[in-house]
Amino acid sequence: MFDINAFIDDKVKNNDVFLFMKGTPDFPQCGFSGQVVQILNYLGVEFDSANVLESEELRDGIKAYTNWPTIPQLYVKGEFIGGADITREMFQSGELKTHLEQAGVALKQSA
């Protein structure tokens, strides 16, 4: 039997930056997921992702895991950052870049 919580826990804890999203970074299938991908790409952040549209179990499981009702969901060093609105607000204020740097996440370009 597949344990969705163990899968989510593994992805969150074993990737510096992980995004649960609709679609893929190359082909986001919702505007909110696309916004978070654009922000991470602009900052030059390497990240991994999972497409919640591929599995209803994952789509429901990630919402239960964080008790957060929407997708996308961004994690940095195992910490839940938030969805598209929070990520966008943190990016616009400069807080996201600072948070990533303080967490030891490499940024490929100065933004």
Asked if residues 55 and 62 have their Cβ atoms less than 8 Å apart, the reply is no
Residue 101's pLDDT is what?
A: 95
Q: Is 30 marked as binding a ligand?
A: yes
Residue 108's pLDDT is what?
A: 85
Whole-angstrom Cα distance, residue 48 to residue 21? Answer: 10
- Token output for 67: 């008790």
Count Cβ atoms below 10 Å from residue 78 Cβ, excluding itself.
Answer: 13
Residue 110's pLDDT is what?
A: 53
Render 46-82 in DSSP notation, one character per residue.
Answer: --EEEEGGG-HHHHHHHHHHHT--SS-EEEETTEEEE
Q: What is the pTM of this model?
A: 0.94
The domains of the chain, with CATH numbers, are: 4-102 (3.40.30.10)
Whole-angstrom Cα distance, residue 80 to residue 78? Answer: 7
Residue 109's pLDDT is what?
A: 64
Give me the average pLDDT of each 10-residue run along the chain (111 residues): 87 97 97 98 97 96 95 97 97 97 86 45
